[in-house]
Amino acid sequence: MSTTKGNEHSILGFLTVRQHPELGYLGGFLLVNSLARPLEFHCTLPVKPTRAQSILYGPTLVDFLCGEQIARTLVSKAKLQPVIVFTDSTAVLSLRNVSEIPVCCVSSKNSEAASKDLMLPPSQQAGVSVGELSGHKILVDGAHRSDWDFVVKRSQELLQQVDLLEPFTRIVEALQEAHPASKAA
């Protein structure tokens, strides 16, 4: 799908990485327009860290895998570039270390509602709570607090008809469709 020049500035990215007990980590990236209609979708094959990676990366492994490997790969595959990437996983905030695109984590108690087998991975990246948007607490990487300022400045334009949590449900369902083994038996 293509976009017109006028709509390029309102493309939003929604990216999640989920952990499946047997398969490993699965990532999905949905780009939507200002009406939350899909423009592009990408997902990864399951990623399992090696024993050597687990030893060498220690407690930083999950954030590295989720943000700097899986999320970066998904963003780089996209033909369109979003003005911001929203995630529901604090581990994905480390994407900001390797990307110029602002990244915000939408914090909610219901983030895992779509699947009990595809869980949000544990993270060492706590994020920094910077405010509330559309009734949800927003976190950013502590080194990139300006991402929040960008979102606040552009929120009227960007979030007119977008529910910040709903796209994650679509992504998780698409991951389950792409990887049938991830569905509960």
The pLDDT mean for the chain works out to: 86
Q: Which of 37-41, 67-71, 97-101, 144-148 is predicted with the least confidence, judged by mean pLDDT?
A: 144-148
Q: Among 117, 33, 30, 27, which Cα is nearest to 68's?
A: 27
Q: Within a domain: residue 3?
A: no
pLDDT tens digit sequence for 6-57? 455 689 999 999 999 999 999 999 999 988 899 999 999 999 999 999 999 9
User: 144 lies in a domain?
Assistant: yes
pLDDT at position 3 over 90: no
What is the sign of the dihedral through the CA atoms of 131, 137, 143 and 144?
Answer: negative
Give how far the C-alpha of residue 22 lies from the chain's centroid of Cα atoms, to the nearest Å.
21
Domain that holds residue 176: 8-180
User: Rounded mean pLDDT of 99-115?
Assistant: 75
Q: What's the CATH number where 106 sits?
A: 3.30.2170
| Residue 185 lies inside a defined structural domain of this protein | no
Rounded to two decimals, the pTM is 0.88
Strands (E), the chain: 12-20, 24-32, 38-43, 84-87, 103-107, 128-133, 136-140
Asked, for residue 1, whether it belongs to a domain, the answer is no
The domain total for the chain is: 1
